[in-house]
Amino acid sequence: MATIYYTATSLDGFLATKENDLSWLDALPQPNTDTYGPFIANVGALCMGAATYEFLLAHVAKGNPWPYQQPTWVFTHRNLPTPAGADIRFVSGEVAPVHALMVVAAAGKDVWVCGGGELVGQFLDRGLLDELVITVAAQTIGAGKPLLPRMARLRLVSAKMLGAGFAELRFVPRRNS
């Protein structure tokens, strides 16, 4: 069981544009290996910030199903709607007690911290992140929502080309070395 930040990013370190647009990702040559399928199959619980949740709500509003079977914790200070069929738990504040709940719910599977970057930073600050799986796009976007707005000391454990559009980099936090 591990707590993982799994995400795609632009080469210059942004998850999305300032307007939360992700269409630039879809326009790239898609990965020639399915890394998401095996990853999500072993996720038992996930969490995300409000902007990421609102992006998914907009997707659902267009007629798409809620994408996750797993219990999902959403960090927000606001009252947001819950799509039909989704197991959503709204929370606010300290991430450590929420992480403890997610670990129990995951029942031995992985915990996915989806983002955004500041929320992931809160997990990193408290030593709760075990791994970062970052799919780097062959594209810069100049500005936007940051991948991880922190000074983070990491160790690269693998690098894999996924075709012309993406490379997957895996890191672990460097705790005391």
Residue among 16, 102, 111, 124 that touches ligand NAP (CB under 6 A): 16
Which stretch, 16-24, 30-38, 105-113, 156-164, contacts ligand NAP (CB under 6 A)? 16-24
Check if the beta carbon of residue 69 is closer than 8 Å to that of residue 96.
no
Residue among 24, 55, 66, 90 that touches ligand NAP (CB under 6 A): 55
Positions in 121-150 near ligand NAP (CB under 6 A): 122, 145
Q: Name the phi and psi angles at 83, rounded to 5.
A: -70, 155
Positions in 146-175 near ligand NAP (CB under 6 A): none
d(CA 12, CA 139): 8
Helix boundaries (H) for the chain: 23-26, 36-41, 50-61, 95-106, 117-125
**Is residue 99 at the binding interface for ligand NAP, with CB under 6 A as the rule?**
no
3 or 122: whose CB is closer to ligand NAP? 122
Residue among 4, 45, 50, 129 that touches ligand NAP (CB under 6 A): 50
Spatial CB neighbours of 43, under 8 Å, sequence gap ≥ 6: 70, 106, 109, 110, 111, 112
CB of 173 to ligand NAP, least distance (A): 19
Token representation of residue 13: 């370190």
**Is residue 114 at the binding interface for ligand NAP, with CB under 6 A as the rule?**
yes
Residue among 78, 85, 108, 176 that touches ligand NAP (CB under 6 A): 78
Residue 96 neighbours by CB distance under 10 Å = 13
Helix (H, G, I), strand (E, B) or coil at 93: coil
Check if the beta carbon of residue 61 is closer than 8 Å to that of residue 84.
no
**Is residue 20 at the binding interface for ligand NAP, with CB under 6 A as the rule?**
yes
Residues that bind ligand NAP (CB under 6 A): 7-9, 15-16, 20, 22, 48-52, 55, 75-78, 92-93, 95, 114-119, 122, 145
